[in-house]
Amino acid sequence: MNLDRGVPILDSMAARPRIGINADYRREERERSLLASAYYDAVSAGGGIPLILPPLADGDAISGLLDSVDGVVLTGGGDYDPAWFGAEPDGATRRMHPRRERFDLRLVRQVVARKIPTLGICAGAQLLAIASGGDLDLDIPDHEERAGRPVYHEVEIEKGSRMERAVGARRIRVNSQHHQAIRRPGEGFRVVARSADGVAEGIEASGHFLLGVQWHPELLAGSDVHERLFEALVRASGKE
């Protein structure tokens, strides 16, 4: 067997940007981390190498995790603690596990400080806002999935924004599965996409690739518009 035949493939893989994806954490019959395959499939289809970032209890280890990646995807999930932005939980709040909350907040603070190219999705977009001093509307039922199915609506993207350049369109159709949304995007971020009812659907930072979208582009495989978000992340992550 000629093992050298595999070298060009390995070299090709090594040249692809490594994209870290934060995992969920649940304590049911046993403690476990989970990650929907759509996230890493979308990163791979976009040209990146997906690497799972487990919610480590050791906050000091996060820096080492980020040293191993070129870009980050912040995933969706439950609700972050409203106390982080000075609010009280209401009857609709569905907290994620505190271990994931603590990890995610430490992670995103380093991501923003280090300006690591990042795509935040749904709760991940909200996390970018919260960590930057923004806040959320706690319950927007018209945007929440119904009977386990997403609702769909159009989003208008600001002309000339990084998000418009990424998706190549001003108006797109998105899937909606959230009941919270960004009210104020936080320091360094601005809202660049809204739905017809005024809900913030996309935010971005100035000067570098930090994007947040309220919808789930990873679940819209086969749509060029939504796949372009992951391709844009991978391109930004490949820059020296």
Give the pLDDT of residue 146.
Answer: 65
Give the pLDDT of residue 99.
Answer: 93
pLDDT band at 90 (very low <50, low <70, confident <90, very high): confident
DSSP 58-125: -GGGHHHHHHT-SEEEE---SBPPGGGGT----TT--BPPHHHHHHHHHHHHHHHHHT--EEEETHHH
Q: What CA–CA distance (Å, rounded) separates 61 from 106?
A: 10
Q: What CA–CA distance (Å, rounded) separates 137 from 169?
A: 27
Give the pLDDT of residue 10.
Answer: 45
Helix (H, G, I), strand (E, B) or coil at 92: coil
Give the pLDDT of residue 12.
Answer: 60
pLDDT at 103 over 90: yes
Across the strands, what pairs with 229?
Answer: none
**pLDDT tens-digit series, residues 156-180:** 999 999 999 999 999 999 998 878 8
User: Of 186, 188, 194, which Cα lies nearest the Cα of 159?
Assistant: 194
Across the strands, what pairs with 130?
Answer: none
Q: What CA–CA distance (Å, rounded) separates 132 from 145?
A: 27
* pLDDT, the chain, mean: 89
Q: What CA–CA distance (Å, rounded) separates 203 from 200?
A: 8
pLDDT at 9 over 60: no
pLDDT band at 151 (very low <50, low <70, confident <90, very high): confident
Output Rg (C-alpha) for the chain, integer angstroms: 18
Give the pLDDT of residue 127.
Answer: 96
Output the CATH code of domain 13-237. 3.40.50.880
> Any idea of the CA torsion for 86, 91, 96, 102, to the nearest 10 degrees?
20
Domain ranges of the chain: 13-237
pLDDT at 94 over 90: no
Share of the chain above pLDDT 70, in %: 90
**pLDDT tens-digit series, residues 207-230:** 899 999 999 999 998 899 999 999
Which tokens is 188 given?
């360094």
Q: What CA–CA distance (Å, rounded) separates 53 from 230?
A: 17
**pLDDT tens-digit series, residues 38-77:** 999 999 999 999 999 999 988 789 999 999 999 999 999 9
Q: Report strand pairing: 135-137 vs 71-74.
A: unpaired
Please state, in angstroms and as integers, the Cα–Cα distance from residue 5 to each residue in 11, 14, 162, following that order. 11, 16, 40
Give the pLDDT of residue 145.
Answer: 67
Angle, helices 37-45 vs 224-237, to 10°: value is 70
Across the strands, what pairs with 205?
Answer: 189
User: Of 68, 71, 35, 34, which Cα lies nearest the Cα of 209?
Assistant: 71
pTM value?
A: 0.91
